[in-house]
Structure 1
Amino acid sequence: MFHAASSSARATGPSPAPPSPPPSAQSPTEGVPAPRGSRTAAEPPAKQRDAFFDNAKYLAIVLVAMGHSWEPLKGGHRTLEAAYMFVYAFHMPAFILISGYFSRNFDLRPDRLKRLLTGVVVPYVVFETAYVLFKRAIGGDPDLAISLLDPWYLTWFLIALFIWRLTTPIWKLVRYPIPLAIAIAIAMLASVSPDIGDDLDLQRVLQFLPFFVIGLSMKPEHFQLFRRRAVRVLSVPVLAGGLAVAWWAVPRMNPAWFYHRDSAHELGVPWWCGPIMVLALLGCSLLLTACFFSWVPRRQMWFTTLGAGTLYGYLLHGFFVKGADYRGWYDHGWLHRPLGELFVTLLAGAVVTVLCTAPVRRVFRYVMEPKMEWAFKRDASALAHERAGA
């Protein structure tokens, strides 16, 4: 997610030394693109994007799409359920960690707040409404209400990114590792608080918070550690062990733990299981995320430029997955056999890849990256500069 999130498309911030994580010139707010035409001739050219991060975002969003495509197929198929749990253990944590990393420079400056509103809030309102209308028309639920307080399906990431970004100045104010300890404590408390409810999907916002805070505290040199050959070699048995544990856990563990959207009580277990699972999954997710990063290419690849469009792929692929489900396309028996599952997996990867391309981004930019100059006051310093120049 994406810029998703957060989220997702362009984020700027210092690029790690030798190509280490995603891109072309990332902006300070990962997933919140800078307004088009906002640079003046006097400003220096944008920094080169670091290919590692764009590669990581693209690969993560492909895993997200594949995981969503498996949901209607995995019932009763242990291998697919194990793959599903394995991927869900780290794909969103990796995306959220990157979003946190590119939020390090976020503050309450007017231009950054504008980008947050146009790059996160506006897409949230548009896609929350669009998904509900889509389900009304295609999903046979004509009475489904539009509620901006109750994110549906994929839109939770946008509202989470919005809240996390707004709190960034607070996390930056406190000396490390206190922010991480507080974030973990908040996540643990959320897991034992069923009364939080569904408003703004706060369970997910709070339980995923530690990954965002960890990203905020990371520096370019931390990502350099993943480039070491020893890390990549060690990641092989770790990933194999993760798959084995997922296979073992299929009949023993509720996969809803990986969604981080419910409290322990709502999952039907004693309250003390919540904090334990938060810590266990945090450790597991970080370990698998590190292994994932160790295999992300550091150089320019054919898909590197697609990393700038991951929020587009994240928000748009849901219409294809849900549309196929609503239309009963998953009911075909051959799709529930190994070759059919492989076909669905590859198709999901291909669809989300196309949705990250430049032509698709041009079409949907008016709702994903609107300029909305008409909605904002002109910056006083910019006006003064223009008058002085005149």
Structure 2
Amino acid sequence: MTDPAVRTASARGTAEAEARPAAPPAKKRDAFFDNAKYLAIVLVAMGHAWEPLRDGSRAVSALYIVVYTFHMPAFIIISGYFSRSFDFRPDRVRRLITGIAVPYIVFEVAYSLFNRWAADDPSMEISLLDPWYLTWFLLALFVWRMTAPIWRLVRWPVPLSLAIAMLATISPDIGDDLDLQRVLQFLPFFVLGLRLKPEHFQLVRRREVRILAVPVFAATVVFAYWAVTRMNMAWFFHRDSAQELGAPWWAGTVMTLALFCCSLVLTACFYAWVPGRPMWFTALGAGTLCGYLLHGLLVKAAGIWDWYDVGWLHQPQGAVFLTVFAAVVVTALCTPPVQRLFRFALEPEMAWAFKKEPAERTGGKS
């Protein structure tokens, strides 16, 4: 026979368990955003594969301009969108350190050491203040995310960020430290992402927008073909001031606004074509940072070891081969096995480096 007191306590515990709210289910990833990130990283890899071919092909240069107009803005807008809830709560700061700061340090050192070895250049310095090659994006993302609470606080955040970007383009004294030119010139796209809501992405994914995107992209390619011999393509890298590009200071403000508008239009067209349903490549969207950072080593190796000296690569069939090859390689680098292999650098737990929060010690909720 059961003790009445035990029965009462058991009944009370059952009632409390039933009254306690159930733990929220794990948040399901949105296939659209994973698809967009994967397709954007494929375009990044293609653009890098085309770079050595630009001098010998006006058509490749035109495609290069088009891709560089929107591929990084598309990435950065999504990064801003997923930074909307960032604040300085301990678990989010910890994720910022382990997911962005640590990979930046690891790959900045790795890139520098690789260049020392591959190029036989012992003078290559390791400097965390001067991002080398692709690592600038990680440093920029760290800075942008740290400022996210400010952009939620101020009025007119997008116009204000555009004003900052314009000031950067007319300020050659900013220098190369922290790659601040790119941090500031790309800032408006991140701030725009912070302000976007799910319905804004639904708006550009309508059927009529997908149809309209076809002539818009076609017209852009034609314009880019015309502009190849008439325009300094360095504007699209957002890493120099107007004066450093040999232009008058006021051209920086005009080009900032013009490129921002062009990038938004092409980014909207790109989002319109991104599938919203799960695809064979959807799971790869979670590994785009891995593909982004690792393919950079191959790009640098190709330049250092003169892989592009093969003559047929500079023919049309060579450009097609490199396009497909770049897509295949970056796809392989985004796969789960590669992600697991490099998790120590890209997603380290680092439990030893952080104090345990009270909730972690007691097993309670945060």
TM-score, with structure 1 as normaliser: 0.87
Shift of 1:128: 0.4
Structure 1 CA distance for aligned equivalents of residues 89 and 71 of structure 2: 31
Structure 1 CA distance for aligned equivalents of residues 346 and 205 of structure 2: 33
Paired position in structure 2 for 1:209: 187
RMSD of aligned residue pairs (Cα, Å): 1.2
Aligned match of 1:93 in 73, 91, 105? 73
Describe the superposition over 1:312-367 as per-residue Cα deviations: whole angstroms up to 9, x where unpaired: 00000011111111111101111000001111111111000000000000100011
Aligned match of 1:111 in 74, 91, 94? 91
Paired position in structure 2 for 1:77: 57
Structure 2 CA distance for aligned equivalents of residues 321 and 332 of structure 1: 15
Structure 1 CA distance for aligned equivalents of residues 164 and 26 of structure 2: 37
Look up the SS of the partner of 1:71 in the other structure.
helix
Query: What code does the residue aligned with 1:138 have?
Result: A
Paired position in structure 2 for 1:376: 354
Paired position in structure 2 for 1:290: 268
Query: What code does the residue aligned with 1:216 have?
Result: L
Paired position in structure 1 for 2:220: 242
Structure 2 CA distance for aligned equivalents of residues 79 and 139 of structure 1: 31
Structure 2 CA distance for aligned equivalents of residues 209 and 43 of structure 1: 37
- Greater shift, 69-78 or 327-336, is seen at 69-78
1:201-350 paired onto structure 2 within 5 Å? 201-350=179-328
Paired position in structure 2 for 1:192: 170
Structure 1 CA distance for aligned equivalents of residues 230 and 137 of structure 2: 28
Query: What code does the residue aligned with 1:210 have?
Result: P
Q: Percent identity?
A: 67
Shift of 1:213: 0.4
Shift of 1:77: 1.1
- Greater shift, 345-354 or 139-148, is seen at 139-148
Paired position in structure 1 for 2:18: none
Number of residue equivalences:
344
Structure 1 CA distance for aligned equivalents of residues 253 and 359 of structure 2: 49
Shift of 1:43: 4.3
Paired position in structure 2 for 1:61: 41
Paired position in structure 2 for 1:46: 26
Paired position in structure 2 for 1:12: none
Describe the superposition over 1:189-213 as per-residue Cα deviations: whole angstroms up to 9, x where unpaired: 0000000010110000000000000
Structure 2 CA distance for aligned equivalents of residues 338 and 307 of structure 1: 30
Query: What code does the residue aligned with 2:317 have?
Result: L
- Greater shift, 182-191 or 70-79, is seen at 70-79
TM-score, with structure 2 as normaliser: 0.92
Q: Do 2:168 and 2:174's aligned partners in 1 also have CA atoms closer than 8 Å?
A: yes
Please state which structure has a larger fraction of its residues in helix: 2
Structure 1 CA distance for aligned equivalents of residues 122 and 306 of structure 2: 18
Structure 2 CA distance for aligned equivalents of residues 183 and 273 of structure 1: 18
Q: Do 2:103 and 2:345's aligned partners in 1 also have CA atoms closer than 8 Å?
A: yes
Aligned match of 1:173 in 149, 153, 163? 153
Q: Do 2:172 and 2:241's aligned partners in 1 also have CA atoms closer than 8 Å?
A: yes
Structure 2 CA distance for aligned equivalents of residues 280 and 139 of structure 1: 38
Structure 2 CA distance for aligned equivalents of residues 312 and 361 of structure 1: 6
Shift of 1:381: 3.5
In structure 1, the gaps of 5 or more residues are 1-41
Query: What code does the residue aligned with 2:120 have?
Result: G
Shift of 1:73: 1.5
Shift of 1:181: 1.0
Q: Do 2:53 and 2:314's aligned partners in 1 also have CA atoms closer than 8 Å?
A: yes
Query: What code does the residue aligned with 1:293 have?
Result: Y
Q: Do 2:61 and 2:228's aligned partners in 1 also have CA atoms closer than 8 Å?
A: yes
Query: What code does the residue aligned with 1:93 have?
Result: P
Q: Do 2:100 and 2:141's aligned partners in 1 also have CA atoms closer than 8 Å?
A: yes
2:133 matched to 1:150?
A: no
> Closer, same or farther in 2 for the Cα pair 1:320/1:145, shift >3 Å?
same
Look up the SS of the partner of 2:342 in the other structure.
helix
Query: What code does the residue aligned with 2:177 have?
Result: D
Shift of 1:227: 2.1
Shift of 1:164: 0.2
In structure 2, the gaps of 5 or more residues are 1-21
